[in-house]
Amino acid sequence: MKLLEGKVAIITGASRGIGKGIAEVFAKNGANVAFTYSSSVESAQALETELNALGIKAKGYKSNAADFNEAQTFVDAVLADFGTVDILINNAGITKDNLLMRMSEADFDQVIDVNLKSVFNMTKAIQKTFLKQRSGSIINISSVVGVSGNAGQTNYAASKAGAIGFTKSVALELGSRNIRCNAIAPGFIETEMTAKLSEDVVKGWREGIPLKRGGTTEDVANACLFLASDMSAYITGQVLNVCGGMLT
């Protein structure tokens, strides 16, 4: 039995990294997948082909979740193409790291828009559908940095902490309609983004983690799978740290 058989999932920012990992695990578990990408058309097309080969329906959409109107247009297109939506994964995210004294207003605003405002935009756009069907699982990809903070990432940490506050509030608002909202806080996950770091930096990260390794995109995706499925039917308003014990 596939855990998400016949369900429709929206995943923002899925052409690479954690979003791609979630899309792959969801498709293998029977979910039809609608995903957004910002610029990498080739990666998006490759993912669409890969997912469809698994016998489910998958489609990529070039859409900016940070834009309120684009988010609504995207959700409307998915509903027209797929008929319904059962799961929303707010994963789109960027970093513009710098010490506060060197951080520009533009770098602060852009990170807040992509990482936090997109969560509001997408949740608002799908809310009516979830309310009508009296079901839905919303999963917001936060970060351990949103829980503990991190020097050089005031913008990113603020956006990810904001996503946690948003998650808990939505869980309280929509719980009576059987709509669940949870957050996942990944730790050091090894993706294309971290591949650019020097081996010494990565080694330092790994040594500071109780499980002594970086996480994989599949580690995060499996946590999403649990929260998206009926296995977690009585779980809402929670933050699940997928971090190898970085936060205890």
Domain that holds residue 179: 8-242
Residue 116 included in any domain: yes
- The number of beta carbons lying within 10 Å of the beta carbon of residue 191 is 20
Active site residue 61: no
pLDDT above 90 (res 43): yes
Instruction: Band the pLDDT of 167: cuts 50, 70, 90.
Output: very high
Provide the whole-model pTM. Answer: 0.96
In sequence order, what DSSP letters do the residues of 29-95 get, joined into one string?
TT-EEEEEESS-HHHHHHHHHHHHTTTS-EEEEE--TTSHHHHHHHHHHHHHHHS---EEEE-----
CATH at 135: 3.40.50.720
Instruction: Band the pLDDT of 39: cuts 50, 70, 90.
Output: confident
SS3 138: strand
Average pLDDT over residues 119-129: 98
Contacts of 196 (CB under 8 A, 6+ apart): none
Residue 80 included in any domain: yes
Strands 179-186 and 136-141: parallel
Residue 247 included in any domain: no
Which residue among the candidates 37, 61, 156, 234 is catalytic per the annotation? 156
Residue 85 included in any domain: yes
Residue 1 included in any domain: no
Residue 3 included in any domain: no
Domain tally, the chain:
1
- Name the average pLDDT for the chain: 96
**Per-residue model confidence (pLDDT) at position 26:** 98
Residue 248 included in any domain: no
SS3 136: strand
Residue 2 included in any domain: no
